[in-house]
Structures are given as structure tokens and as C-alpha cells.
Amino acid sequence: MSGGLIKPDELKRIAEEVEMAKAREALEKKRKGDHERDAFRDSFMSREIQPEVFERLSRVVKSAAERGEHEVLVLRFPSAYCTDGGRAINSFEPEWPQTLTGFAKKAHAFYEKELAHLGSKARADHGLSGRHARRRRAVPALVALRRAKLAGAGDRRPASA
């Protein structure tokens, strides 16, 4: 064997270099994730209602009605975007729309102005299903805004707000 056995100091240096490379990789991954999350939030907060909204909404609602559905998912976003972290929605408080921010606030204002008088109802929920939904005390990770009870569809019982 040329050069003999590797010395403990050399082993330690190699292990430290590997650990440093892993730490740099983890830090870069975190920075990238933070940047993507911030870009998504900025986009959500500045997004506007598009001019073709009526055509898109009509298409979605018609498709749902053809499938026999009485509700469509309009928007899903992190509960952290609500002023209270989603508490009012999770607690089914009637003033939940006041906690909306960014595009969710604009979308709800659009609903109030353009759709509510047509007989449809808006509903928000924590957007979780399955095992996550059973953890009622947990803060919701997502909020789902739904256009519940499509106008003229289904039974005539009032939908919850």
C-alpha cells in the first residue's frame, strides 16, 4: 500500500468537508424554497380579477352542473394569508370574509358584487380532507373558497355563508 493508512486527522477533514457540503446544499434548498414561497405570496397579493372571468366561471359552473355537482372550488390558498391565520374560517364565524387578503379578498368582493345576487352562496373551509380534517384544533394549512350551491341547482335549502 503506497502512502500507508489514512490518518485520523485526514478522516476528520474529509468528514467535515462532507458535512459542510450537505449544510451548503440544505441552506441553498431553503433559500430557494423561501424565494419561491415569497414569489408566490407576492403574486397572490397583487393578482387581479381577469377580464375573461365570466367566461371561465361560466365554463366551470356548466361543467360542474353537467357532472351533477352543486359546488365548485374557486380558490385555494395558505391560511397564513388570512389576517387571523384562518381562525375565523376554521371556527365557521360569519365574518370570515373580513379576514381575507390579496386575491382572495378581491375574489370575494367580485363574488359579492357580481354573483351573490344571482342566488349562489360563498363558503370557505379549511381545505383539508381525510386524516388532516379530523385534527379540528389544528390551524388549517389551506383555505378553500367555494362557490357553493350553484344558482338554480340542487335542493332549495339555504347554503351556509
Per-residue pLDDT tens over the stretch 121-148: 888 876 644 333 333 444 445 566 665 5
- Residue 2 falls within a domain, yes or no? no
Predicted local distance difference test score (pLDDT) of residue 136? 40
> Of 15, 30, 46, which residue is a domain's last?
46
Cell numbers standing for residue 72: 365548485
For residues 141 and 63, membership in a common domain is answered with yes
Alpha helices by DSSP H, 47-98: 53-66, 87-90
117 located within any domain: yes
Q: What was the pLDDT predicted at 133?
A: 38
pLDDT at 70: 84
Do 141 and 72 reside in the same domain of the chain?
yes
Position 151 scores a pLDDT of 53
Low-confidence ranges of the chain (pLDDT < 50): 1, 128-140, 153-161
100 Ramachandran zone, left/alpha/beta (phi>0; psi -120 to 50): beta
Q: For the chain, what is the radius of gyration of the CA atoms? A: 24
pLDDT at 74: 85
User: Does one domain contain both 25 and 62?
Assistant: no
| DSSP bridge pairs for 122 | 147
Question: Containing domain of residue 40, as a range?
Answer: 7-46
* pLDDT value for 160: 40
pLDDT of residue 33: 96
Output the pLDDT for position 81. 93
- Domain identity same for 113 and 63: yes
The reply to whether 80 and 108 lie within a common domain is: yes
Verify that 109 and 139 share a domain, yes or no.
yes
Same domain for 119 and 72, yes or no, is: yes
Domain check: are 64 and 26 in the same one?
no
Buried b (16+ CB within 10 A) or exposed e, 106-133: bbbebbeeebeeeebbbbbbbbbeeeee
Total tally of structural domains belonging to the chain:
2
156 in any annotated domain:
no
